[in-house]
Chain A
């Protein structure tokens, strides 16, 4: 094999190029300086200089979530590395394929409390899929290739590589491809045929099945297969927060999102079902509510690529370890063989479900203070932008409304911080998504609280010509926390006022802030201005756009199952539980 003498830093850049990485988000510092030098000469790697390393991490996540490819971020040692921690934890919770590259002090200084030294491998051990510390240049190609393999294979997740400065500077004979030696890493993608057979039998015996679809279906790129399975069975579908877009919202079999703020039909269908066909979902507490009373009458088929998810929260009657796409295809073939010409009859089940859909559609009331309804603003953004756009949200009320009132028709169009619930995700994630998919319209739908955590990346967007659109759903408060204070703390609003609304001192003024960052920034307060503002944003592509939508602060997210309570107690609106007919 032909070799070439390279420094460790050059080898790192070359390895990333050879693995097909085209973009990295990062910010240099002392311990990563050797790597930034050859990075400057790379023709294949675009480096985007962020303003805070957390932004680099979320941008890598957004890039990955929008494209399905590995997202890469770079930071220096010490504080640079620790600033990545939130994004790494976020990627770990939401199974995002991400590579975090950090500089480390010279190997001979490790452990001496050297300047900007932090044990980032130790710090991130519980929140990475795996991590490496590299102290020798010659190990770099093998480690980078192994990290790529681990991050993108099986259940995706973040991998961190910490490069000692002397490993970056050392010289060695580079050759490619390196030998990847991972004897303990053997993800199972092909399911057990007998289990698939058992699943098909259970499905055909059930009368009230539901496809409970999680983010794994999106990560496995199995939406098409899911559609075929759902239509073959004519069974209802619910898509979790992480799976919005895995199944078209316009499809009549779709009941919407389950869980704490799920639709009444989806929450109720799970509760009344006799069979959960669980695909890449993990029985998260925000979906199940009180686990003991969750879907008590249902048997469970649980399909997941991660064996540790199966049986973790809820017993699986038919556990299937495998890649969602492979499993669904096998299940379709098996069902067809078992069904012959007959189709399962879910007529009574659909009568019940259609009744729920009719009586309990998603809706909202106008605000009492006469300000804009946040739900209306978000719904119009979705309607005017269409299903080809990408929507990134932070965490809180605006996130839930975005999950509810935007209609998703395709996977990878909805990005959010689902598991970790990270304020500040939206702006940098939208930036990463726009870099990955430059031809798509990309919105960050953000809260006034979330926006203030990472809005400095607007500078990155303006300078690097990444024209994202930011819709601030400005209710002048930490809205979701305030909602819980309204409902559970006697409306005592402890530390949730942010003073960004028009009837406050408005610090900061988001329009001025947006302008300071070189964005087109406008404020919208009236319903008749909403459409024009959204259209203006869509037409403006020479710079980012910030729209400060001033919305009513008392709007709440409904339906809601209070935390830790049975999903049987779903409330359609405040103090309004659905009314059940007979004993259904």
Chain B
């Protein structure tokens, strides 16, 4: 049985850190479902959000191995109930005069946005949790999806506490 976990890593923004993290996953046979990297509110510190799917391996081994990397500052697992996670998608959908209004209706229903329109296609931007994004895609599929690009999930815990507290001394 494979289970998905969403991990947030605070890392030093040093060359090679992404390779080190990715290589560790590859070497130990952990499967990365999605990955998002960016800078944070602290200079020199980046945040990696990784969704990993594990086949029976304990998550603890993953976090312990990641913690051994010198440039990794902190790791937390964000649980669904106590955190907010968002995916971001850009979707190019085939449209013509007969289908455009139906597509635009779906855009409104899912609170997505149209960011480019030409005569035979529209580009749509949608943000939401993974389930919403998948549902939206399903609605668009019959019209013909020409191109799909998505970010990995990014996530933050609910409440006022910050992950970076106590990390930087």
Contact = CB atoms under 8 A, between A and B. Distances in A.
A308 B64 contact: yes
Interface in B16-41: 16, 19-20, 23, 27
Interface in A439-473: none
Contact of A121 (B16, B27, B168): B16
Contacts of A308: 61, 64-65, 67-68
A125 B12 contact: no
A183 B68 CA distance: 12
A133 B17 CA distance: 12
A488 interface: no
B124 interface: no
Interface residues of A, number: 18
A303 to B, nearest CB: 16
A122 B65 CA distance: 18
Given A121-B16, A122-B19, A185-B70, A307 B168 contact: no
B61 A312 contact: yes
Contacts of B15: 133
Interface in B28-78: 58, 60-61, 64-65, 67-73
Interface string A304-328: 0011100110000000000000000
A125 B19 contact: yes
Contact of B67 (A122, A129, A307): A307
A185 B69 CA distance: 8
Nearest to B167: A183
A125 B20 contact: yes
A546 to B, nearest CB: 40
A130 B72 CA distance: 12
B72 A184 contact: yes
B30 to A, nearest CB: 14
A183 B16 contact: no
B27 A126 contact: yes
A499 B153 CA distance: 61
Contacts of B138: none
A184 B71 contact: yes
A122 B15 CA distance: 11
Majority secondary structure of chain B interface residues (helix, strand, loop or mixed): mixed
A576 interface: no
Contacts of B161: none
A164 interface: no
Nearest to B20: A125
A311 B60 contact: yes
A150 interface: yes
A399 to B, nearest CB: 27
A1 interface: no
Nearest to B68: A308
Interface string B158-169: 000000000111
B58 A311 contact: yes
Contacts of B73: 183-184
A189 to B, nearest CB: 15
A182 B19 contact: no
A129 B71 CA distance: 11
A462 to B, nearest CB: 40
A130 B64 contact: no
A235 to B, nearest CB: 29
Nearest to B72: A184
Contacts of B169: 183
A183 B12 contact: yes
Contacts of A150: 70
Residue of B12, B15, B65, B70 with most chain A CB atoms under a 10 A cut-off = B70
A312 B65 CA distance: 10
Given A184-B73, A308-B61, A308-B65, 7 more contacts: A126-B27, A129-B70, A150-B70, A183-B167, A184-B69, A184-B70, A311-B58
| 6 nearest A-B residue pairs (beta carbon) | A308-B64, A130-B70, A184-B73, A185-B70, A184-B72, A307-B64
